[in-house]
Amino acid sequence: MCGIVGLFLKDPKLEPQLGAMLTDMLITMTDRGPDSAGIAIYSGAKDGLGKLTIQSANPDKDFKDLDGDLHDAIGQPVTMKIKSTHAVLEVPLDQMEAARSALSHLSPGVKVMSAGDSIEIFKEVGLPKDVAARFELSKMKGTHGIGHTRMATESAVTTMGAHPFSTGSDQCLVHNGSLSNHNGVRRELKRLGMTFETENDTEVGAAFISHKLKSGETLGNALEATLTDLDGFFTFVVGTKNGFGVVRDPIACKPAVMAETDQYVAFGSEYRALVNLPGIEDARVWEPEPATVYFWER
Amino acid sequence: MQTFDLGKEGLRALNSALHALKGQTNMTDWEVINPKGAHAIAAGVDAPVDITVRGSTGYYCAGMNKQATIRIKGSAGPGVAENMMSGTVIIDGDASQYAGATGRGGLLVIKGNASSRCGISMKGIDIVVHGNIGHMSAFMAQSGNLVVLGNAGEALGDSLYEARLFVRGTVKSLGADCIEKEMRDEHYAILEDLLRRGEADHKARPEEFRRYGSARKLYNFNIDNASSY
């Protein structure tokens, strides 16, 4: 199983409520995925600053004085906001790579969940309501976001095995289904220079799309390529800095429902994830077609 | 009229109340409000009652239905009227995948579109879809009638047995062993009856449909294919 939710706001008035709306949708999908939950939220870029979301199993130790140490390492100011096992570091955009490399020396226990201008990812094992409370997801603001509740099949129930997966700047992917050729695709992507954190099939799907984008393909073409090169069952929802995309495999047994109004485009694995959205009674509600790429960008 | 607020009283209470109706009852008219996409609404009903669900439903609404007439004033999630035995299910909106799967009897009417695998393994149910149906519909369908006013997706009627498929619009492709067949008087009569009962007689006429059925080539193992396995 697994549950997916996604929300792309057209009406800026809803932006302060993005986290609250997504949290409600996420918790509704608990019985599709009680093992772990995660959310990627795009809260907007600040001039010249980039964000690194980091995670540690020992945050008290690993995050202690990390902003100061990082400042000393890269010679630029760094801010850090800690939320439970995760922290968001803001560093100058031109120092992102330097900061990542410094992190691996300063605090080897720290994992990078996401990097980019706008994206923040929070994910942990446990029930969606507990994960949401731990990271105060309902207080988050932003323009668009994607959430996932996981029922694990292809790899262990761990923080790193939770979705969303981010394998490129401001990119993320969530998945309902299972890929059957992920080992082969992972080997090929490694040969092409992509790196992997887990043995998980979804991370391969994410890296496959990131590699296409890195090679200059459009998001549309990258999503199209999943239909020919990835084998297995999938409904993917992909986030980028400017929007989100949806694609389902040609067999399309993994469910998907979308709703659109003047205020938003919403995705849910099931309609019940969407029922509390404003104006849902009058929304255009439909199932995305199999083997068809959809995306919305601002 | 019995009005049941699913948001307040919960699914288990609804289905227990409906399952308690046996044979003759004077509570023949039910309304379910606030369905909010919940699963298994009015599944397993076995009484001649009318149930109207005011909104969209989740998985397996009206599953295993016997005798009841169930109306969904919204869209239905996956597996609506799955394994229906008798009675009628009418959906005002769209139906998700495998609507009417394995149904043994009764009538399923979908006024919008149905997605993939509509009528998969149907065994006697009649299904009338006012819109289109998705891929792999009527896969391994054994008996009953599937009537589609719109178009059919890929691989219609793959590995079909004796179900009759009537499509008014285009068929993207036929599945293995599914072929077009002639329309005879008996088929016009079946269609006339189903269009009327499916509340579609004002939208389409029997002469506008083509019939598809089994070529019956997969019924027996062909020894010439032995080397393929």
**pLDDT given at position B205:** 98
A172 given a catalytic annotation = no
Give the DSSP per-residue string, A130-168.
Answer: HHHHHTTGGG---SEEEEEEE--SSS-SSTTTSSPEEEE
pLDDT of A153 above 90:
no
Q: What is the pLDDT of residues B122-157, one digit of tens each?
A: 999 999 999 999 999 999 999 999 999 999 999 999
Token pair recorded at residue A43: 């809260």
Answer yes or no: do A255 and B97 touch at CB < 8 A. Answer: yes
- The reply to whether A290 touches chain B by the CB within 8 Å rule is yes
Phi, psi of A225 (to 5 degrees): -65, -25
Where residue A285 falls among pLDDT bands split at 50, 70, 90?
very high
Coil/strand/helix, residue A7 = strand
Q: What is the pLDDT of residues B154-202, one digit of tens each?
A: 999 999 999 999 999 999 999 999 999 999 999 999 999 999 999 999 9
**What's the complex ipTM?**
0.92
**pLDDT given at position B66:** 97
All structural domains of chain A, each given as residue ranges with its CATH number in brackets, are 3-44+138-297 (3.60.20.10), 46-117 (3.30.70.2750)
CB-based burial label for A100 (10 Å; 0-12, 13-18, 19+): middle
Distance CA B79, CA A96 (A): 49
Q: Which range among A44-58, A123-137, A187-201, B214-228 shows the weakest confidence by mean pLDDT?
A: B214-228
- The reply to whether B38 touches chain A by the CB within 8 Å rule is yes
Token pair recorded at residue A6: 């996604």
- The reply to whether A272 touches chain B by the CB within 8 Å rule is yes
Token pair recorded at residue B118: 């509509």
From the candidates A1, A2, A119, A131, which is the catalytic residue?
A: A2
Give the DSSP per-residue string, chain B.
Answer: -EEEEHHHH-HHHHHHHHHT--SS-S--EEEEE--TT-SSTTTT-BSS-EEEEES-B-TTTTTT-BS-EEEESS-B-TTTTTT--SSEEEESS-B-TTTTTT--SSEEEESS-B-TTTTTT-EEEEEEESS-B-TTTTTT--EEEEEESS-B-SSBTTT--S-EEEESS-BS-B-TTEEEE---HHHHHHHHHHHHHTT-TTT--GGG-EEEEE---SSS--GGGGGG-
Coil/strand/helix, residue A125 = strand
Where residue A195 falls among pLDDT bands split at 50, 70, 90?
very high
pLDDT of B5 above 80:
yes
Pick the CATH number of B2-216 from 3.20.20.70, 3.20.20.370, 2.160.20.60, 3.20.20.210: 2.160.20.60
Q: What is the pLDDT of residues B9-56, one digit of tens each?
A: 999 999 999 999 987 788 899 999 999 999 999 999 999 999 999 999
pLDDT of B229 above 80:
no
**pLDDT given at position A298:** 86
Nearest one of A292, A250, A269 to B117, comparing CA atoms: A250
**pLDDT given at position A284:** 96
Distance CA A88, CA A52 (A): 6
Residue ranges of domains in chain B = 2-216
The radius of gyration computed from the CA coordinates of chain B, to the nearest angstrom, equals 18
* Chain A residue closest in CA terms to B94: A286
